[in-house]
Amino acid sequence: MKFLYRYGNFLLHIIHNEYDAMESYRRAQTIYQNKISKKGNAMPINEQTIFGENSASAIVIISATSSRIGTVIHANEDIETVLGFKRQELIGRNVTQIIPRPIAKVHDKLVQRYFETAKPNVIEIKRNLLASNKEGYLKEIELIVKVFPQVNEKIVFVGFIQRHDRFEDMEHVKPEFEKLDKNYILTDVDGNITNVTEGLNYELGLNAKFFQYTDSIF
């Protein structure tokens, strides 16, 4: 397992082969999880056991140091299927590109908190969330985040993302409304609309571009 981590570091930092480096990290993580599962007699947690063996997941990998947080260092091609971004459009930029604005504002602070405390409040947990696609519309997703500590005070976060059509923990709707499309409006703390689902563009003409304003205008 240590060899795989070190080999991953070599591939990433010396050879600059991000794809094979992340595969090496994942293999190391699988070995670790299998060891944990044998001790605790539990099923190892990974994207296949949660999303299903045949489920393709978008993968976004970000790095974090004490001075720079949230830079995307790798994304696979499935990110275009899920959120419309080509992988080249995300690599080298902050992961907040795919996060709705009210959440994006505090995301770096949340990562920084983990960097300082190492408390795994959201690590290895499947969560239903809203992401922002390339056009700025909200998309329902399922997300699992894994963490790979690195040398030189660096942490790598690997996010496995899959589209999700319905939030399981939402209140059950009345039968007469079940066939209707579900749409969402997201606001900031002051009540300003920041993001909407694409269905509201079709139904009400609320284009995502209407809400791509800067905070300075308020």
Domain boundaries, the chain: 1-44, 53-167, 180-217
% the chain with pLDDT above 90: 25
Q: What per-residue confidence (pLDDT) applies to 38?
A: 56
CATH tag, 53-167: 3.30.450.20
**What is the average pLDDT across 96-102?**
93
Residue closest to 90 by CA, chosen among 125, 144, 132: 132
**What is the average pLDDT across 207-213?**
84
31: enclosing H helix or E strand: helix 18-40
The top-scoring range by mean pLDDT among 48-62, 176-190, 193-207 is 193-207
Q: What is the mean pLDDT of the chain?
A: 76
pLDDT for residue 113 is more than 70:
yes
| 3-state class (DSSP) for residue 198 | coil
Residue 41's pLDDT band (cuts 50, 70, 90): very low
**What is the average pLDDT across 34-53?**
46
Calculated CA dihedral for residues 209, 92, 107, 124, nearest 10 degrees: 120
Cβ-contact 111, 121 below 8 angstroms: no
pLDDT for residue 43 is more than 50:
no
Contacts of 49 (CB under 8 A, 6+ apart): 43
Contacts of 217 (CB under 8 A, 6+ apart): none
Phi, psi of 178 (to 5 degrees): -65, -35
pLDDT tens profile 100-109: 999 998 888 8
**What is the average pLDDT across 184-189?**
90
Whether this prediction's pTM lies above 0.75 is answered by no
What the block records as the tokens of 46 is: 């990974």
